[in-house]
Structure 1
Amino acid sequence: MKDGFSMEAFRLLNAYRDKHGITVDDEKDLKDQVALVISMTSLRSTLQKVFKDIDQLSSSMVISPTDISKRTYKVVLVDEAHRLRRRKNISCYGDFDKSNTRLGFDINEGTELDWVLKQSENQIFFYDSNQSIRTTDLPPSRFEVLKNSKAYDSVRLQTQIRSEGGDLFTDFVHRLFDLKLLPHERFESKDFELKLFDSFVAMRGQVFQKEAEMGLSRLVAGFSWEYKTKDKKHRHLYDMTIEGIDLRWNSTAKDWINSKNAIHEVGSIHTVFGNDLNYIAIVFGKEIDYDPITKAIVVYRDEYKDTNGKNSTDDVDLLFYVKNIYKTLMFRGIRGVYIYVCNPNLKAYLSQHMEIVTGNSENESQVIPSCRISSEPTAGSIPYYDLEIAAGNFSELQQSEILQYIDVEERYQDPQRYFACKVIGESMNKIIPNGSICLFERYQGGSRNGLICLVESSSFEDRDFGANYTIKEYSSKKTITDEGWQHQEIILLPKSTDDS
């Protein structure tokens, strides 16, 4: 798909090549003189991996603003330039001050934009004030100065990058948050889904299904919940509970979207900024609401848990940043956006303008959408064991008598790593409907806390007669001594709509 961002970047770089007489033979020598500056850690890590695997590119070409303070470049592209920072409400003043000192700027006045301007001969900034989300982001006035300078050309991109919703969806989202839609006006498209879910459980199940079908489907949320598990020693805790589902924020800040546990975790604006997802499911938290009396979007400061994001803001600024967060999250979806809303008034407002998905559709969380089972392995199959895994108590003693094979999509076609079984029972029905055939990944090492695990129990003496099996969410507590660590307790947690 062509998009304005890519085409304009390509045009500007070609114009630079023509102006300076750069040929294909010269490019190898110039590669070290071109850089892409990315402020956000997660996006930068993702792009470094991408650049590493592309001929003529290098991961070292993707740098942070701090990196550019250490050397000069001929050409610098700055993506998401609205996220360049000033010295205000940042989490680490030390590195910021060192960069200012290194370049001769006053530590209180120098900004990451100043570093880019001083350390590069030519710059290309991709800027959108509607995606500024914190007071640490540079104010629009700094970029207005550049825009009005004769040293720069200003080009307005005309297309919404990558999204199948296109410019019409972009316009719809802006008018949705600005309360400028007509009564009951909706966004309709055969190529793009916009749905408001009545049930969080159903929405999460839909995310699992889309992930199984095409990948790159993630759950994200606004900052209504504290990041209790940010410290690794607290990873056994949970950050939020929605409709009885215990959840954790992202376990890594780097390339979270592609991390192993991302599908089981909740991302934030910081983990998806600049990335694109096939489907994004967004939890509108308790900090954002709709006032039916004033007919306005409102933000509750006490419910907003991003301390650095709200410090030194007035109510107008905070509302601007929070609205931008949710707009930007909605723009991450390529094929669709799913929404769940915590506050009833906001839910009622959004329901006037979106398709509503009601109820908890149990079939939507099925892991394997199509099941072709055969007696012989194929290039696209993995083992399917004829065990019935109990979602309640441990199953009766059983052995796998007949090994069959089930076809799965390409990403799971590794029989040494993946296998499938049927799950019977209701104690996991919030995420696994009774009778589902589920895909399992063999244990690869690392913490199991928070993972849905297939647990085998067998007697040493009776090993030849089979084993008992169950599936639960794994939770454990450990004690550490001079001799090492050992489990204090292991808890297998159900996920059922039946509280009994």
Structure 2
Amino acid sequence: MVLTAFDVGGSDEDFDLLVVDEAHRLNQRANQPSGPLNKKFRDITVKLFGEDDTSKTQLDWIAAKSNHQIFLLDAGQSVRPADVPAEHLHQLVATAKSTDRYSGLASQMRVRAGADYVDYIRNMLGGPVEIELAPDFGEYDLRMFDDIAEMREEIRKRDAEVGLARLVAGFAWEWKTKYDKDAYDIVIDDVHLRWNGTQTDWIASPLSLEEVGSIHTVQGYDLNYAGVIIGPDLRFDVDTNRIVFHRSSYFDKKGKENNPARGLTYSDDDLLRYVTNIYTVLLTRGIRGTYVYVSDPALRTHLSGLMLASS
């Protein structure tokens, strides 16, 4: 049986065991996608704990409704401020370790680039990086492109060869086609692209090869080749030698929304963590290869140097 956190929290039954996949995407008390869900979040918390305690998260719901839990989680894949706070996940891990109930993932099985690939990508996006000896990624096809049209053409070729090759991007462009189907969302040079036309199983949808997937359509999916467009929401500050977040170029409203329910506001540095998490997820979807186009010229130069060091 597959249940949402709302299903679990609102159930009249308790559970012996719950296996929680993508536990890092459980929510804290924050503005939900709709008014009814905001009310439901409050009602479930009151039902379970006797009061509207805004510090309670969906992790607390799970613990209250089950005798045993298995949490599958990666704090590095939290992509919105409404997700369970990282400190809660770290505490969950610490508790599991202290009771000898923790099992770490020793290696990743998706990307055919060796065990070091995911850490390499996270370090590459994490700030100043000095690479003395880059990992050997074997035959993994990791490439940087200066021309978005060339990258799109290579993705089409890979799809014709092996299938499941798609363009994906950070949420750095408005979603104009939600309201105007004749518009284009992402315009780079002479290339005009549209966001994914469906949220449901977009990767397998008929038009997906001609569209660009967002984090919310590809997280949890595998591709053979991912063509990742890093938008102007990430830039490189040459004075501080750091990757920085550009708020006005980030268009996920829920991705930068403050949390009045808990009195929380999010700085650019706070949001930088979520946006680099998003790009880390996108850059680790490709089983056989990952192609990268970077909008900001300074960031393109910076990442090109790091990626060349890995080749």
TM-score in terms of structure 1 length = 0.55
Question: Deviation string for 1:208-249 (max 9, x for gaps)?
Answer: 111111111110111110112224xx2222212122222111
Q: 1:353 aligns with which of 303, 306, 309?
A: 306
Alignment of 1:332-347 (within 5 A): 332-347=285-300
Residues 1:85 and 2:10 aligned together: no
The gaps in structure 2 that reach 5 residues or longer are 259-265
- Does residue 134 (structure 1) correspond to residue 80 (structure 2)? The answer is yes
Question: Secondary structure of the residue that 1:340 maps to in structure 2?
Answer: strand
Distance 1:344 1:102, change over 3 A: closer
Structure with greater helix share of residues:
2
Q: 1:298 is paired with a residue of what secondary structure?
A: strand
Asked whether the equivalents of residues 290 and 349 of structure 1 are also in contact (C-alpha less than 8 Å), the reply is yes
* Distance verdict in 2 for CA 1:258–1:89, change over 3 Å: same
* Bigger RCO (CA 8 Å, 6+ sep): 2
Please name the residue that 1:423 is paired with. none
Runs of 5+ consecutive residues of structure 1 not aligned to the other structure: 1-60, 357-500
Q: Is the contact made by 2:24 and 2:83 (CA closer than 8 Å) also made in structure 1?
A: yes
Residue of 115, 128, 141 corresponding to 1:193:
141
**Greater fraction of residues in strand:** 1
Q: Does 2:158 align with 1:210? A: yes
Distance 1:184 1:282 in 2: 26
The 3-state SS of whatever aligns with 2:272 is: helix
The answer as to 2:234 corresponding to 1:288 is: yes
Q: Is residue 2:272 matched to residue 1:319? A: yes
1:293 counterpart SS class = coil
* Aligned ranges 1:230-379 → 2 under 5 Å: 230-231=178-179, 234-312=180-258, 313-355=266-308
Distance 1:144 1:183, change over 3 A: closer
CA distance in 2 between partners of 1:138 and 1:114 (Å): 10
Contact 1:290–1:296 under 8 Å retained in 2: yes
Whole-angstrom CA distance in 2 between matches of 1:115 and 1:93: 20
Identity of aligned residues (%): 38
Task: Determine the structure 2 residue equivalent to 1:389.
Answer: none
**Cα deviation, residue 129, structure 1:** 1.4
SS of the equivalent of 1:263 reads helix
1:175 and 2:123 aligned: yes
Specify the alignment match of 1:446 in structure 2. none
Q: Which residue of 1 aligns with 2:263?
A: none
**Distance change >3 Å, CA 335–CA 153, structure 1 → 2:** same
Q: Are residues 184 and 266 of structure 1, via their aligned partners in 2, closer, same or farther at CA, if it must alter by over 3 Å?
A: farther
Q: Match of 1:280, SS?
A: strand
Once the two structures are TM-superposed, the CA of residue 101 in structure 1 deviates from its matched residue by: 1.4
Aligned twin of 2:106? 158
| Aligned residue type for 2:7 | D
Q: 1:223 to 1:102 in 2, by over 3 A?
A: closer
* SS of residue paired to 2:84: coil
The structure number with the bigger radius of gyration is 1
Matched letter for residue 97 of structure 1: K
* Structure 1 letter corresponding to 2:24: H
Superposed displacement of residue 185, structure 1: 5.8
The TM-score with structure 2 as length reference comes to 0.87
Root mean square deviation of aligned Cα: 2.2
Which range moves more in the overlay, 144-153 or 217-226? 144-153
